[in-house]
Structure 1
Amino acid sequence: MPWKLTPLLLFLAWMAYKCSARARTDLFNVCMDAKHHKIKPGPEDKLHDQCIPWKKNACCSAKVSQELHRDTSSLYNFNWDHCGKMEPACKRHFIQDNCLYECSPNLGPWIQEVNQSWRKERVLNVPLCKEDCQSWWEDCRTSYTCKTNWHKGWNWTSGSNKCPTGTTCGTFEFYFPTPAALCEGLWSHSYKLSNYSRGSGRCIQMWFDPAQGNPNEEVARFYALAMSAGAMPQGIRPLLLCLALILPLWLHD
């Protein structure tokens, strides 16, 4: 048996490298397992308007990108104008937010499993660049809403979201007194206000010029490598799974 030890160690070292590499890769250039996402990212030449920045590599289809620009789309039947007409400058941020969520293949490090009827995965605490969050809040301060968490608690009896009984419409600034309150609270902490600025390579940009490339690729790669190197869920567990599959075969031999 000792003569087999060295080949085994070499083989396990090779498999450890392959398994850890696969774990790292799985954290970037991936699509969520959600209601309208594609299984794998790829080119989409006909993406619509604000979703165009993702056309070289997208998790959304052209049809989905078109629906994201409607006031009440068929994707979720969500009405932005639930407290009167939302200001156009404000609505642009929500459309861009939806394009990022539906189209981006660079949110892998923050994807979490969920047990929800309409999706199996979501994002949590995506570090949103502080300028993007600040401008979102500034442009929406004078628009109106009636809730601080738009993920839940709506009245859906009409088929689209209505303000629930007991709530009143007020300005965004009333319901979201700070940029962090808006970006972090709006979608159940899908985003986290980052201390980093656009172009730092450490925060996700909601807005970017596709002619300059997609800056979020670098960001996703940085966090994916960091998580694989230092966190058990992305690094150790895949390796243990690989070893669990390999060792019985070797022992049987």
Structure 2
Amino acid sequence: MPWKLTPLVLFLAWMASMCSARTRTDLLNVCMDAKHHKVKPGPEDKLHDQCIPWKKNACCTASVSQELHKDISLLYNFNLDHCGKMEPTCKRHFIQDNCLYECSPNLGPWIQEVNQSWRKERFLNVPLCKEDCESWWEDCRTSYTCKTNWQKGWNWTSGSNRCPAGATCSTFESYFPTPTALCEGVWSHSYKVSNYSRGSGRCIQMWFDTAQGNPNEEVARFYALDMNAGAMPQGIGPCLLSLALMLSLAP
């Protein structure tokens, strides 16, 4: 027997749509819960240099973007020149990487909870466009470092990162023999090198021309919808439980 469109049935239908819509929205246009991120993304007209692409909608502030361009910023006291002066072309990629991390509101599908003193969330296995990875490696292969995983294991006794005891400074190419080794290893699998190219709508670009819009918005939407179609996302369970309970009480 068909249900009548009673106020309860209409409310249940509305709640079902809210469960679905809220889940999709949770993965889009969001900022990570981390040390220097804003609570919500928004315009930042004065973002600095390599962070400018996110000025229309950013998770970072102008002051954070300024600090990201310093050799040793006050944000994390991390020294890119830990094995001598890094080549400017190489450093440019790390600055863009930092701008993406701090500023992008399009990384929701890859945000994971972590238990770290300086952040509660990180992104993991972001599908980085293959050209971005290849150019990063090519421009850094002759610069020097002493570690393959920059996420941990440094000597911080001086206040900034130094090579751990016994580590030897050598070229990037010796520590990262392939582009994939660099992009996936340097930040402990924050990125996963994609087989897709820039502009495909299937991989995240580390940097882009603002005149062409933000291509990473389309990428985030694609993976968010794919995640919602393939599995029950975090946060939807309580919503569906409430809905099921109401349905059981319906006449």
Deviations 1:80-102 (A, max 9, x none): 00000000000000000000000
After TM superposition, the structure 1 = structure 2 runs for residues 1-253 of structure 1, keeping only pairs within 5 Å, are: 7=6, 11-234=11-234, 238=236, 240-246=237-243, 247=245, 251=249
Displacement of 1:13 after TM fit?
3.5
Change beyond 3 A, Cα 1:97–1:251: same
User: How far apart in 1 are the matches of 2:112 and 2:48?
Assistant: 28
User: What is the CA distance between 1:249 and its match in structure 2?
Assistant: 10
Return the offset for 1:245: 3.5
Query: Share of identical aligned residues, percent?
Result: 82
Q: Is there any run of 5+ residues in structure 2 with no aligned partner, and where?
A: none
The CA deviation at 1:10 is 5.0
Residue 12 of structure 1 and its aligned partner are, at CA, apart by 3.1
Offset, 1:6: 6.9
Q: Secondary structure at 1:233's aligned position in 2? A: coil
- Aligned residues of 2:129 and 2:205 also touching (Cα < 8 A): yes
Q: Which secondary structure state, in structure 1, belongs to the residue aligned with residue 233 of structure 2?
A: helix
Tell me, which stretches of 5 or more residues in structure 1 are unaligned? none
CA RMSD in angstroms, aligned pairs only: 2.0
Query: Which is further off, 48-57 or 15-24?
Result: 15-24
Q: 1:230 and 1:194, CA in 2 relative to 1: closer, same or farther beyond 3 A? A: same
Which structure 1 residue ranges, 4+ long, deviate > 2 Å from structure 2?
A: 2-14, 243-253
SS of the residue 1:182 aligns to: helix
Secondary structure of the corresponding residue to residue 195 of structure 1: coil
TM-superposed CA distance for 1:166, in Å, is 0.9
1:42-63 deviations in Å (ceiling 9; x for gaps): 0000000100000000000000
Does the aligned pair in 1 maintain the 2:123–2:190 contact within 8 Å? yes
The alpha-carbon deviation at position 154 of structure 1 amounts to 0.1
**Structure that is richer in helix per residue:** 1
State whether residues 12 and 246 of structure 2, in contact with CA within 8 Å, keep that contact through their aligned partners in structure 1.
no
* Deviation (angstroms), 1:15: 1.6
Q: Contact 1:128 / 1:193 at 8 angstroms: preserved in 2? A: yes
Q: 8 Å contact 1:28–1:105 — kept in the other structure?
A: yes
